[in-house]
Amino acid sequence: MPLVLVQGLRGGVGTTSLVANLAIGLAQAGLPVTVLDMAARSTMALHFGLQPTDRLPPLDEARPNDLVVHGVTLRDAYTVADRGDLTYGLASGEISFDGDMLYLADVGSADMGLFEQLRPYAALDMLVLAPSGECLASLPEALEAAGPNTRFVLNKADDTRKLARHASVFVRELLGDKLLATIRSDEAVVESAAMIHPLVRHAPVSAALHDISALGQLVGAMVPLGHASSPVAHEPPRQATQAA
């Protein structure tokens, strides 16, 4: 199965929580899913109900004791990348995204070199943005660098705030079909991480979780499950929109 890269246009847009909850939803739908934690100062463990000090098995560990939470396998991929061993591992085939596993990689917003290194191996790369001035300023450069497999996700959308509402409209008009989904702002996401509970346990009927579930259906329809070398569909399904 393929690799899906996820990176925020800016820090603080909610990429890690999005990856965690997307992975849990895909696993609940019956897909074998591995999350690759590629952030230097990650909070991924919190979103799976683990302690921040819990160590994830390294990606290049020969016989790892797999850590599986809510049906999702968790692996630390930052360490191997930080050591400089990722390039050799990918080139030699020691690190591969073939097989029956769907990989979701959470890449830090500042790690552009790592993102570009992994992009040729990805069936889909999702760039996450929030309706903020900082993200809007980054959009032209992101669009220029976007490849055929690049899609965008608008996170923390809040139609009760004027600036966020206008920014959301602008983003939808600018990105068109490249906007894969809109995830509503939901304080339950922050609360669940603070309580060290996954969102599905803390707030199973939350608005954000509903939107993330819809995103999972789109990802499942777009990525070539079981054929990791195939490209993502050039005509994507209709984007996930906010529920009325």
- Name the least confident of 52-66, 116-130, 133-147: 52-66
pTM of the predicted model over 0.85 = yes
pLDDT at position 83 over 50: yes
Residue 62: the pLDDT is 66
User: Phi and psi at residue 199, in whole multiples of 5°?
Assistant: -60, -35
Q: Residue 173 — very low, low, confident or very high, per pLDDT cuts 50/70/90? A: very high
pLDDT at position 122 over 60: yes
216-237 pLDDT, tens digit each: 999 988 887 654 333 333 334 4
Question: Which H or E element spans position 7?
Answer: strand 3-8
DSSP code at position 76: E
Residue 216 burial class via C-beta count within 10 angstroms: exposed 0-12, middle 13-18, buried 19 and up: buried
What is the Cα–Cα distance from 2 to 41, expressed in whole angstroms?
25
- Return the sign of the alpha-carbon dihedral for residues 98, 228, 111, 46: negative
3 closest CA partner among 142, 74, 101: 101
- Name the least confident of 45-49, 96-100, 206-210: 96-100
Helix, strand or coil for residue 153? Answer: strand
What is the Cα–Cα distance from 181 to 229, expressed in whole angstroms?
24
CATH architecture of the domain formed by 3-222: 3-Layer(aba) Sandwich (3.40)
Residue 64: the pLDDT is 62
Average pLDDT taken over every residue of the chain = 86
User: Phi and psi at residue 180, in whole multiples of 5°?
Assistant: -80, -35
**Selected residue with higher pLDDT from 183 and 99:** 183
Residue 232: the pLDDT is 38
Q: How far is CA 79 from CA 4, 57, 160, in A?
A: 19, 10, 41
Residues 6 or more apart whose CB falls under 8 angstroms from that of 207 comprise 184, 186, 242, 243
Percentage above 70 pLDDT, the chain: 90
